[in-house]
Amino acid sequence: MSEWIDVVAENALAVGEHIVVDVDGIEVVVFKLEDGFYALEDTCTHDGAEIASGEIDGDEIICPRHGARFCIKTGEVRSAPAYEDIPSLSVKVESGRLKVRDTRWD
């Protein structure tokens, strides 16, 4: 089973902000939305762009290269040119710290 990895203080992000962190060699973008924290692998499934540099529109992140849209909460692709979801990671808050866990290989 994968381990929870401490990434940042809970109060380090304001609503609408995000941060990129390394989780076991994978770049992960952690978002703070109105209703909580979410984490996605920082790679567009269309062409490998870093999605963290894209624009946030509600609960979507827009890839800066070709405009594919993904749900920040689930990684679900919402518009072409991407057709594959972005892997999402579990997030929890513990003792004022954000922790993420990649469960894909559990």
Q: Please give the DSSP secondary-structure letter assigned to residue 98.
A: E
CATH of the domain at 79: 2.102.10.10
Q: Please indicate, yes or no, if residue 105 is contained in any of the structural domains.
A: no
pLDDT reading at 1 higher than 70: no
Contact 96, 11 (CB under 8 A): yes
Output the average pLDDT for the chain. 94
Q: Please indicate, yes or no, if residue 98 is contained in any of the structural domains.
A: no
pLDDT band at 102 (very low <50, low <70, confident <90, very high): confident
Contact 72, 38 (CB under 8 A): yes
In this predicted model, what pLDDT tens digit does every residue of 25-73 receive, in sequence order? Answer: 899 999 999 999 999 999 999 988 999 999 999 999 999 999 999 999 9
CA distances from 53 to 61, 62, 68, 105, 106 (A): 9, 9, 13, 27, 29
pLDDT reading at 8 higher than 60: yes
Its domain, for residue 28, covers 8-92
pLDDT reported for residue 2: 78
Q: Please indicate, yes or no, if residue 66 is contained in any of the structural domains.
A: yes
Structural domain count of the chain: 1
